[in-house]
Amino acid sequence: MTRTSVGKGLGGSPKADGSSKADGSLKADGSPAGGFRQAMSWLHTWVGLTLGWVLFFIFLTGTVGYFDTEIDRWMQPELPQAQTGLNSTDTAQVLLDRLRVEAPGADRWFLTLPAGRHQPYPGIFWQGASTKAGASAASGELQVNGNTGEPFSARDTGGGQLLYQMHWRLHYLSRTQADIIVGFATMFMLVALITGIIIHKKIFRDLFTFRPGKGQRSWLDAHNVLSVVALPFHLMITYSGLIFMGFSYMPLIVAAHYGVDDEARQQFISEVFDPPGLVDSAREPAPLVPLGHLIAAAEDRWGENRVRSIDIRHPGDSNARIIFYENIERRVASGGERLIFDGVSGELLHQVPPATSAAKGARDLFVGLHEGLFAPPVLRWLFFFSGLLGSGMIATGLVLWAVKRRQRMEKKHSLPHLGLRLVEKLNVGTVVGLPIGIAAYFWANRLLPVASVGRADWEVHLMFLAWLMVLIHAACRPNHRAWVEQLAIAGLAFGLLPLLNLLTTDRGLWHSLVANDWVFVGFDLTVLIVGLMLGWTAWRVWQKRSLIDTGEISIKQGRSAQELPGGQS
Amino acid sequence: MVSMLSSLTEWVLGFGGMGSLCLSMKSHAMKSHARQIGNLNYRIWRPGQKWMGWSLLALSIAIVVSARGWGPGLVSFFGMLSAVTLLVIALITYRPRWLVPASLACVAVGPILTGFYVLF
């Protein structure tokens, strides 16, 4: 099997070509063998291709999202290092004082304590405040310096949160449109995974097999390796992605029990997710109980500095309720325990376990696995790498589709049809174009004037504009040229980010190293390594091309122009 | 905090396990020049490597689950498995001769680390 040349493998019987995955649509030999597998292979090919580029976008932005908080912090270099480890009682008092100034008469005060990676700074959030009583806005959100009690001021940015949100909100689309597109894409992904497992005959035997420099065979090997090596992750992330929006995709189950209108739906959501025992405001003023005792009680139960946030409903009302949220780093399933206190007497009313039913427990487990919020640093990196493997799986699948057809076409000496050309252009413009867009987002963050109006919006606009330009570039240039040039641009765009950071802030790499600022060190080194790898790939692709130009490798050896980008993906 | 020792043990066992499983396959064994060992008795080498591989992986799961609990333990195990498998593939593809010593070293060191982990 290893000896089968690529040309033979294409036209030969499926038995000779042991791992002829996704070969179904090409059946040239008319072999009747493997009818079911043929059908699955066809399905795998087309389901994978149709929404492949959307899936690549979802996978890559979602992968970057595993470092959302770290990116947030890099994108707001004005903020100091994390303030975790402050005394909870003092911090809560500082935040409460700030809320009394910013949001008098509010329906809801929400205090975020700096409990760890996800919440590096204390913060407040409020709803329904009275501007007549002096509130700065009816609702708002602020990050507060836990030492001074003053709000932080930092540049306006979407940060890592926006980059992460993009992977299911698709940014420019409405929630409904995005839900439908992401839903179909996720379903397609699940089908592609399952059909992929069915048609891949020797999952374990081929697991360690990668044969570089063999054209189409190498792409197939790479696609198989990237898929199988992180298969548990791919299945988990895809299935849990569907679970996330189960209520949107299967609304009838809820509708059957609650009704179809928005109010009924809201009732269901609040029954499942809201803490129990919440009441409406009594409209009778009553002083809010001091938080000190409550925090002590919660920390007795959960451990020091393990209160994640404090949610005060109807502060200053006789029906006030205070909800304490436990930090989430100890279990895989999303969410922690909640404690609900009376906001006037301070009496503990309810103690709500993380999952209130088995069904919700299962949902929380999948959601928790998907988000990976519990993951400590090493595991977080593994989540990130698994996501990259998934993105690579999609990219190699897309390239494989084009390589196959390009090769068949060259054998017949026919011209590439429109579909093939379109796929080739979209491949380079997305697989390399999206990373360039992401780099542009970071460049925009540093280069747009700090005080300019709407700068956060423009950061994202520039990301998508950059991507658009790359797609146009891909359309205008010959394919191999497009790969080399774009890989080089991407390499520079990422590799020079640490330099840009050094020139535009006072938190360059050396400074961060000396200051033990691992978030900045990590970001700078990561983009530097990504840049070097992209640059190295560009060089390799360019080198192979020049070999072909000088005739050292002939096209007949099975190395067509399109398959050049890599051989080693 | 999960001790460094348990993580190290998990990874060493994982790499030794995946390396052994890879070397239990004839084509990979030939490529990595384990043939010299294999020629002694390929009939023993092959099942030996296979059993060794699966046992080390099982031991690795046991370690990580006992250190972190079922949930985070299994997640961590699968993440580790992806990483070491890629490493094994990279070695067998680009540096096949390195795989035998690397794998055997982990096979030797893994159980010793396990002993340390159980004792301390």
pLDDT at A58: 97
Q: Which residues of chain B have pLDDT under 50?
A: 1
Say how far apart CA A208 and CA A536 lie, in whole Å. 24
ipTM over 0.95: no
Say how far apart CA B61 and CA B70 lie, in whole Å. 9
pLDDT at A253: 82
Distance from CA of B70 to the nearest CA of A (A): 9
Give the torsion through C-alpha atoms of A176, A177, A179, A184, to 10 deg. Answer: 140
Residue A58, in any domain of the structure: no
Q: Which residues of chain A have pLDDT under 70?
A: 1-34, 545-569
List the single residue in A with minimal CA-CA distance to B87.
A208
Assess whether A425 and A554 both reside in one domain. Answer: yes
Assess whether A436 and A358 both reside in one domain. Answer: no
Assess whether A468 and A559 both reside in one domain. Answer: yes
The runs of H, that is alpha helices, within A319-417 are 358-371, 377-412
Assess whether A489 and A552 both reside in one domain. Answer: yes
Measured at the alpha carbon of residue A88, what is the angle toward residues A83 and A89, in degrees to the nearest 5? 135
Residue A292, in any domain of the structure: yes
Assess whether A308 and A433 both reside in one domain. Answer: no
Assess whether A292 and A440 both reside in one domain. Answer: no
pLDDT at B34: 58
Q: Mean pLDDT across chain B, nearest whole number?
A: 88
Assess whether A149 and A289 both reside in one domain. Answer: yes
Residue A398, in any domain of the structure: no
Domain boundary pick from A371, A403, A435:
A371
Q: What percent of chain A has pLDDT over 90?
A: 67
pLDDT per residue over A480-504, tens digit each? 899 999 999 999 999 999 999 999 9
Say how far apart CA A264 and CA A276 lie, in whole Å. 18
Residues of B in contact with A210 (CB under 8 A): 89, 93
pLDDT at A554: 42
Q: pTM here?
A: 0.89
Distance from CA of B108 to the nearest CA of A (A): 22
Residue A148, in any domain of the structure: yes
Distance from CA of A338 to the nearest CA of B (A): 21
List the single residue in B with minimal CA-CA distance to A366.
B71
Q: Say if A205 is an interface residue toward chain B (CB within 8 Å).
A: yes
Residues of A in contact with B65 (CB under 8 A): none
Place of tokens 């803490």: A275
Residue A244, in any domain of the structure: no
pLDDT at A293: 93
Backbone angles phi, psi at A561, to 5 degrees: -60, -40
pLDDT at A312: 95
Residues of A in contact with B82 (CB under 8 A): 229-230, 233, 382, 385-386, 389
pLDDT at B10: 94
Residue A464, in any domain of the structure: yes
pLDDT at A219: 92
List the single residue in A with minimal CA-CA distance to B93.
A210
pLDDT at B3: 77
B29 alpha carbon, distance to own chain's centre: 15
Q: Say if A540 is an interface residue toward chain B (CB within 8 Å).
A: no
- Residue A97 belongs to domain spanning: 88-158+276-371
Residue A112 burial (CB count, 10 A): 23
Number of domains in chain A: 2
List the single residue in B with minimal CA-CA distance to A227.
B82
Interface test with B, best of A203, A208, A364 (most B CBs within 10 A): A208
Q: Say if A399 is an interface residue toward chain B (CB within 8 Å).
A: no
Say how far apart CA B10 and CA A472 lie, in whole Å. 48
Interface test with A, best of B74, B82, B94 (most A CBs within 10 A): B82
Residues of A in contact with B92 (CB under 8 A): 208
Residues of A in contact with B28 (CB under 8 A): 208
pLDDT at A134: 85
Q: Say if A249 is an interface residue toward chain B (CB within 8 Å).
A: no
In this complex, do B72 and A374 lie within 8 Å of one another by their Cβ atoms? yes
Residue A221 burial (CB count, 10 A): 21
pLDDT at A555: 43
Say how far apart CA A133 and CA A126 lie, in whole Å. 14
Say how far apart CA A65 and CA A383 lie, in whole Å. 10
In this complex, do A332 and B75 lie within 8 Å of one another by their Cβ atoms? yes
Residue A71, in any domain of the structure: no
Residues A108/A311, Cβ–Cβ less than 8 Å: yes
Task: Return the structure tokens found at A74.
Answer: 């890099």
pLDDT at A543: 87
Q: Say if B68 is an interface residue toward chain A (CB within 8 Å).
A: no
In this complex, do B82 and A333 lie within 8 Å of one another by their Cβ atoms? no
Residues of B in contact with A379 (CB under 8 A): 72, 75-76, 79
The residue among A293, A394, A538 whose CA lies nearest residue A62 is A394
Q: Say if A3 is an interface residue toward chain B (CB within 8 Å).
A: no
Assess whether A566 and A488 both reside in one domain. Answer: yes
In this complex, do B82 and A229 lie within 8 Å of one another by their Cβ atoms? yes
In this complex, do A232 and B88 lie within 8 Å of one another by their Cβ atoms? no
* Partner residue facing B82 (CB), from A230, A332, A378: A230
Assess whether A364 and A507 both reside in one domain. Answer: no
3-state helix, strand, coil split of chain A in percent (to 5) is 60, 10, 35
Residues of A in contact with B27 (CB under 8 A): 2
Q: Say if B87 is an interface residue toward chain A (CB within 8 Å).
A: no
In this complex, do A232 and B78 lie within 8 Å of one another by their Cβ atoms? yes
List the single residue in B with minimal CA-CA distance to A377.
B76
Q: Say if A222 is an interface residue toward chain B (CB within 8 Å).
A: no
Say how far apart CA A490 and CA A42 lie, in whole Å. 34
Say how far apart CA A285 and CA B93 lie, in whole Å. 73
